[in-house]
């Protein structure tokens, strides 16, 4: 399921190794943790925003009409 979410499809170990190697070459080993933190922060903000929207919709639906 995780591979479907990341659009990895049917990548084998060789292809994944090649992608990781290219990322390290392009960004450098010191930059990767910073990039990962940024992606994690973005995902967390997205999840928080969707939760807020869901909560507000549920709250509005509970109000008497």
pLDDT tens-digit series, residues 8-57:
567 788 888 998 889 889 888 888 889 889 999 999 999 999 999 999 99
Judge if 21 and 37 occupy the same domain.
no
Judge if 65 and 35 occupy the same domain.
yes
Q: Alpha helices, DSSP H only, in 1-65? A: 2-5, 13-27, 32-62
Judge if 17 and 36 occupy the same domain.
no
CA-atom Rg of the chain in angstroms: 19
Q: Distance between the two ends of the chain, CA-based, in angstroms?
A: 41
Q: How far apart are CA 3 and CA 20, in angstroms?
A: 15
User: Containing domain of residue 47, as a range?
Assistant: 31-65
Judge if 24 and 36 occupy the same domain.
no
Residues 25 and 31: beta-carbon distance below 8 Å: no
Q: How high is the pLDDT of residue 46?
A: 96
pTM for this model (two decimals) = 0.57
Q: Domain total for the chain?
A: 2
Judge if 24 and 50 occupy the same domain.
no
**DSSP at 65:** -
Q: How high is the pLDDT of residue 65?
A: 65
Judge if 36 and 61 occupy the same domain.
yes
């Amino acid at each position: 399921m995780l591979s479907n979410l990341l659009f990895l499809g049917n990548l084998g170990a060789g292809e994944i190794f090649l992608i990781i190697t290219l990322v390290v070459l392009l960004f450098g080993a010191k930059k990767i943790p910073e990039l990962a933190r940024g992606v994690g922060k973005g995902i967390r903000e997205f999840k928080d925003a969707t939760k807020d929207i869901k909560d507000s919709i549920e709250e509005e639906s509970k109000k008497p009409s």
